[in-house]
């Protein structure tokens, strides 16, 4: 029995979590076929497995307490290279064919991914972010451990692949405007073989060196394609009618190829029009689920609330409970609490704040954050829309100052152990789509938050199956509090969550995990008056949650301009 740690929590699809499951299909498979004897190596349920040539019963090869992906046979069939990722980052490992002798190739604390063999079997090629300036292509000699960089373009470069004769290297370059398939022939300059506005991935050579195969992503649609290295180059579709996985195809020889689609391993002849399934059966060992945990309710004190009644009015209300928006609603605030949510009507019972075409939504909850180091940074956190911040490191100052008007900041909840927050997920890194735009946002530019997070994952995990339970936390991404949670919302979108599900992860789900349900994360009568007023449509694009017009914290209204002015002034003083 064991507990698998994935990301910062135990998140396993229900289909893989029960004891003694017999699995014959699985999403997100990657396979490689040995050119020596046709044996198959594959990743399944976060482990590495082998299959006899032609399919059959799977044998567990490598079983670790982190997620293992993308195995590949060495040219002689004696070793398997694979990628491992966990809470402390990711790296490259190699094992012998029995699984008994495992060696970590990547140095601790270094992010490396997309490893592949050189045809000589003594070198590997991979992508690394070791300089912190984006992914470059590197090569390492396994007997000596020496490594050298092969590319140094400012854009991210990844998915390298050597041709079977070791003379040509191909890889993918991701520029801001396009994906480019790059080729370096021996003693020749690099050339762009293919340029695509859509994402391309999963690069592989045909053994005779005549063409390269890749997967093209157009929204939810994936297509297996090839680029024939003729003059001029020709692009042809191999397969478009199957749900392809994001993994390179594997060639047994120049005529036979293997790939994964629709939860199955599939094989076909290069000239064939149809593939056939290669059946397998795997007996998954029991996975130890964490014991159920009773969540003790916390009661928030409303400290130093303002006097009077404030009626906040906007075109759309996302209250965190009803699906979608409620139109033309009034949120009535008194003594720091929401006392009513009701249809708009003429009022003379308080101060009406009508900001026109804005969305009213709950203040964001960061369920696992780095601490706010100085009081003046509180306004910066609010400027990103985070009104409740959970940390396992108590700030060195009295955070009650954040409850007043002169030095506003987020509501601070200190926990002894981040494990108290069931389901806290942190997956943002430089590979997250739109992270560059976030670092150029109005808030980030004003506050000097331009450094990207460290790279931790080879690819964004798919969290769709766990979406109703996901809770957003940000501490592992090492960004500044506030900015860090906005990065996690973008990453959750890339992980397959809808905008509404991502907002629940930083709202209702987080509040429930903290024992603060109906106090924060939702806009209901009796909740604390921590609200965001944003432009745009955050249920269409979760990135619009950063289009903040104003924040209501503890019943007090602060425009974004005033928060940024307070934060920059405090930074100058401190």
Task: List strands edge to edge, sheet with 123-128.
Answer: 112-117, 123-128, 136-141, 147-149
pLDDT at 419 over 80: no
Q: Which of 98-107, 285-294, 372-381 has the highest mean pLDDT?
A: 372-381
pLDDT at site 286: 65
Rounded percentage of the chain residues whose pLDDT exceeds 90:
67
Domain boundary assignment for the chain: 14-283, 309-573
CATH number among 3.40.50.300, 3.40.640.10, 3.30.200.20, 2.30.40.10, domain 309-573:
2.30.40.10
Q: How confident is the model at residue 243 (pLDDT cuts 50, 70, 90)?
A: confident
**What average pLDDT score do residues 199-208 get?**
95
Name which of 19-28, 392-401, 534-543 the model is least confident about. Answer: 19-28
- Looking at the predicted structure, is the pLDDT value of residue 15 above 70? no
Higher pLDDT, 38 or 571: 38
Q: How far apart are CA 477 and CA 458, in angstroms?
A: 14
Residues 6+ apart with CB under 8 A from 94: 79, 80, 81, 82, 102, 103, 105, 142
pLDDT of residue 268 exceeding 90: yes
Q: What percent of the chain is helix, strand and coil (3-state, nearest 5)?
A: 15, 35, 50
Which comes out higher in pLDDT, residue 107 or 264?
264
How does pLDDT run across 352-373, given as a tens digit for each residue? Answer: 999 899 999 999 999 999 999 9
What does the block give as tokens for 24?
């014959």
Predicted model pTM: 0.74
Per-residue pLDDT at 12 exceeds 60: no
Mean pLDDT of 279-303: 77
Strands (E), 415-525: 424-425, 471-472
pLDDT at position 134: 81
Mean pLDDT (whole number) for 269-277: 92
pLDDT at residue 294 greater than cutoff 70: no
Q: Is the pLDDT of residue 290 over 60?
A: no
pLDDT digits (tens, 9 = 90+) for 429-459: 888 888 989 999 999 999 999 888 888 777 7
CA 500 to CA 545: how far, in whole Å?
11
Q: Which of 174, 183, 179 is nearest to 205 (CA)?
A: 183
Contact 72, 82 (CB under 8 A): yes
What's residue 10's pLDDT? 34
Q: Is a pLDDT exceeding 50 seen at residue 22?
A: yes
**Mean pLDDT across the stretch 319-328?**
93
Per-residue pLDDT band at 481 (split at 50, 70, 90): very high
22 or 11, greater pLDDT:
22
For the chain, the average pLDDT equals 89
For position 9, what pLDDT does the model report? 36
- Report, as an integer, the average pLDDT of 78-96: 85
Determine contact, residues 72/86, Cβ cutoff 8 Å: no
- Whether residue 203 has pLDDT greater than 90: yes
pLDDT tops 50 at residue 16 = no
- Provide the pLDDT for residue 447: 94
Lowest mean pLDDT among 83-92, 127-136, 259-268, 269-278: 83-92
pLDDT band at 291 (very low <50, low <70, confident <90, very high): low
State yes or no: pLDDT of 140 exceeds 70: yes
Does 14-283 carry CATH code 2.120.10.30? yes
pLDDT at 3: 34
C-alpha distances (whole Å) from 57 to each of 40, 64, 347, 440 are: 11, 20, 71, 51
pLDDT at 153 over 80: yes
Are the CB atoms for 161 and 249 separated by under 8 Å? no
Predicted confidence (pLDDT) at residue 148 exceeds the cutoff of 90:
yes
Instruction: Give the lowest-confidence range in 64-78, 116-130, 150-164, 288-302.
Output: 288-302
pLDDT band at 5 (very low <50, low <70, confident <90, very high): very low
Give residue 94's pLDDT: 95
pLDDT in tens, 520-558: 999 999 999 999 999 999 999 999 999 999 999 999 999
């Amino acid at each position: 029995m064991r507990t698998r740690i994935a990301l910062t929590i135990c998140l396993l699809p229900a289909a893989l979590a029960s004891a003694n499951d017999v699995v014959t299909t699985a999403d997100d498979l990657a396979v490689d076929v040995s050119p020596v004897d046709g044996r198959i190596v594959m990743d399944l349920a976060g482990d590495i497995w082998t299959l006899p040539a032609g399919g059959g019963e799977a044998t567990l090869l490598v079983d670790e307490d982190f997620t293992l992906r993308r195995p590949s046979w060495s040219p002689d069939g004696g070793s398997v290279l694979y990628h491992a990722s966990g809470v402390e980052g990711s790296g490259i490992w190699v094992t012998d064919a029995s699984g008994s002798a495992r060696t970590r190739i990547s140095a601790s604390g270094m992010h490396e991914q997309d490893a592949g063999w050189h045809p000589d079997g003594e070198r590997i090629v991979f992508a690394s972010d070791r300089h912190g300036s984006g992914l470059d292509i590197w090569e390492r000699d396994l007997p000596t451990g020496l490594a050298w960089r092969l590319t140094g373009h400012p854009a991210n470069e990844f998915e390298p692949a050597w041709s079977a004769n070791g003379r040509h290297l191909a890889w993918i370059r991701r520029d801001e405007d396009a994906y480019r398939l790059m080729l370096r022939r021996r003693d020749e300059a690099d050339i762009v073989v293919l340029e695509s506005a859509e994402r391309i991935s999963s690069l592989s050579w045909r053994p005779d060196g005549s063409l390269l195969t890749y997967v093209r992503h157009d929204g939810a649609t994936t297509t297996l394609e090839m680029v024939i290295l003729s003059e001029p180059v020709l692009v042809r579709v191999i397969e478009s009618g199957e749900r392809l996985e994001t993994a390179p195809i594997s060639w047994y020889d120049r005529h036979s190829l293997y790939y994964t689609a629709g939860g199955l391993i599939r094989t076909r002849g290069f000239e064939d029009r149809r593939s056939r399934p290669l059946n397998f059966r795997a007996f998954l060992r029991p996975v130890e689920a964490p014991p159920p945990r009773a969540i003790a309710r916390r009661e928030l004190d409303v400290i130093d609330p303002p006097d009077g009644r404030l009626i906040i009015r906007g075109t759309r209300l996302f209250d965190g409970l009803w699906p979608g928006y409620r139109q033309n609603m009034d949120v009535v605030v008194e003594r720091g609490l929401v006392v009513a949510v009701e249809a708009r009507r003429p009022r003379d019972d308080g101060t009406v704040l009508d900001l026109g075409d804005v969305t009213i939504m709950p203040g964001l909850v960061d369920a696992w954050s780095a601490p706010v180091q100085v009081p003046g940074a509180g306004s910066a956190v609010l400027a990103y829309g985070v009104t409740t911040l959970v940390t396992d490191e108590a700030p060195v100052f009295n955070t009650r100052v954040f409850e007043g008007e002169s030095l506003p900041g987020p509501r601070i909840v200190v926990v002894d152990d981040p494990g108290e927050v069931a389901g806290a997920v942190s997956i943002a890194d430089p590979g997250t789509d739109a992270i560059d735009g976030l670092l150029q946002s109005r808030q980030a530019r004003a506050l000097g938050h331009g450094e990207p997070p460290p790279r931790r994952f080879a690819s964004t995990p798919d969290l769709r199956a766990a979406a109703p339970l996901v809770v957003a936390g940000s501490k592992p991404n090492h960004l500044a509090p506030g900015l860090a949670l906005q990065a996690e919302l973008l990453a959750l979108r890339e992980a397959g969550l809808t905008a509404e599900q991502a907002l629940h992860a930083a709202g209702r789900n987080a509040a429930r995990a903290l024992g603060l349900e109906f106090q924060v994360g939702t806009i209901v009568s009796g909740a604390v008056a921590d609200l965001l007023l944003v432009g745009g449509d955050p249920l269409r694009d979760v990135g619009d949650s950063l289009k903040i017009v104003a924040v209501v914290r503890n019943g007090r209204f602060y425009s974004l301009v005033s928060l940024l002015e307070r934060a920059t002034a405090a930074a100058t003083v401190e």
